[in-house]
């Protein structure tokens, strides 16, 4: 019985790059009560692997959170299989906006304590008592009100490349950090209209229930997140209030929603919103890099990493025991921090 993919990752990536198979990238989530996540995980793997699904799915007692790609030829079969699970029957499928079909190269389904790490005590409040969902049209109308507050519930490296107009973008690296910070920022605004958004809606679903529990009165969230908002705007010919690119957690690292480029290369400062991981595997820092700097630094975040990556593999393995790089010292894309350290500067 096949419950895991054991083929080498590099080989799987190469297969995907060389494949002409058309695939559709999508995400879905559902808060539900799953009594035996391990058993559910195994059954789900067999169900989806049979139709060629790739992606990353988290299963927990509180529900499921998935980002996957599906062969176009098997899409209807995939839907039937997913919808055959009672609590997932009719679940929203957020179809990717800017998709080349190269988002995932294998299927991974993991059992976790939570489908999104939030640091909350779920027994203290009811996650089903959530805020009001807004369609794209409703979002545009409500945010036209001067008193409405818009909050980006994503991380700094996501909002850096794209966000809604006039949104508050917390400088955080995790959702766990964002929850108390946003509450503190808005502690005197509990009677105001608070509109939250995230990539596909899952973080706002939990956050809205938490903030209602904490005494906020008028909590709203963008239904289906940025992905669904953009789809509705295009389908209905609505003004798109999202500026820039939507960061995504797959091989693409981003999809174009707005035409604007609002971020800058972390190395030279030129307009750029392309996220990459440092080619030095000992670093692997996520940062923004333009094509010119990619060529100059051999796809690395610094000259130091570029030089290290050219060394023989056996030498790298020995040096990694004592050397530090940007990725081992700083978190995703915090380039201003590591530029202050002469030993780890970008240039």
**Residue 24 φ/ψ, nearest 5 degrees:** -115, 130
Q: Please answer whether residues 32 and 111 qualify as being in contact, where contact means their C-beta atoms are separated by less than 8 angstroms.
A: no
The DSSP-derived string for 291-346 is: HHHHHHTTTSSSHHHHHHHTS-HHHHHHHTTT---HHHHS-TT-HHHHTT-GGG--
- Residue with structure tokens 């969902």? 133
The DSSP-derived string for 174-202 is: SHHHHHHHHHHHTTT-TTSEEEEE-SSSH
Separation CA 135–CA 118 (nearest Å): 25
Distances (CA, A) of 255 to 128, 270, 300: 30, 20, 22
**Residue 133 φ/ψ, nearest 5 degrees:** -75, 135
For residue 71, the cross-strand partners are 23
CA 152, chain centre distance (Å): 13
Which of 341, 280, 278, 285 lies closest to 315 in space, CA to CA? 280
Annotated active-site residue 293? The verdict is no
Helix, strand, coil shares of the chain as percentages rounded to 5?
35, 20, 45
For residue 63, the cross-strand partners are 31, 60
Kind of pairing, strands 132-134 and 218-222? parallel
Q: Which position among 198, 265, 278, 283 bears the catalytic label?
A: 198
Catalytic residues: 198
């Amino acid at each position: 019985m096949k419950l895991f993919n054991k083929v080498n990752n590099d080989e799987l990536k190469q297969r995907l790059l060389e494949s002409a198979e058309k695939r559709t990238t999508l995400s879905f989530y559902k808060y539900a009560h799953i009594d035996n996540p391990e058993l559910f995980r195994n059954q789900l793997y067999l169900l989806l692997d049979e139709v060629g699904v790739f992606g990353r799915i988290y299963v927990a007692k509180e529900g499921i959170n998935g980002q996957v790609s599906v062969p176009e030829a098997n899409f209807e079969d995939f839907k039937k299989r997913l919808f055959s699970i009672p609590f997932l029957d009719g679940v929203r499928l957020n179809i990717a906006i800017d998709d080349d079909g190269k988002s995932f190269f294998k299927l991974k389904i993991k059992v976790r304590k939570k489908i999104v790490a939030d640091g909350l005590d779920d027994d203290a409040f009811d996650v089903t008592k959530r805020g009001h969902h807004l369609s794209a049209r409703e979002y545009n109308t409500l945010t036209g009100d001067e008193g409405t507050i818009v909050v980006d519930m994503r991380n700094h490296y996501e909002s850096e490349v794209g966000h809604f107009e006039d949104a508050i973008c917390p400088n955080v690296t995790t959702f766990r950090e964002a929850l108390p910070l946003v509450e503190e920022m808005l502690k005197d605004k509990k009677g105001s209209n608070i509109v939250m958004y995230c990539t596909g809606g899952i973080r706002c679903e939990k956050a809205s229930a938490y903030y209602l529990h904490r005494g906020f009165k008028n909590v709203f969230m963008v239904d289906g997140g940025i992905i669904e908002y953009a789809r509705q705007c295009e389908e209905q010919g609505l003004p798109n209030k999202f500026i820039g690119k939507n960061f995504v957690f797959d091989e693409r690292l981003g999809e174009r929603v707005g035409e604007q480029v609002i971020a800058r290369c972390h190395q030279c400062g030129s307009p750029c919103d392309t996220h990459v991981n440092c080619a030095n595997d000992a670093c692997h820092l996520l940062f923004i890099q333009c094509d010119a700097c990619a060529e100059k630094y051999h796809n690395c975040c610094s000259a130091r990493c570029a030089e290290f990556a050219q060394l023989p593999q056996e030498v790298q393995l020995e040096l990694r025991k004592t050397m530090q790089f940007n990725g081992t010292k700083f978190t995703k894309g915090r380039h201003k921090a590591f530029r202050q350290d002469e030993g780890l500067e970008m240039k």
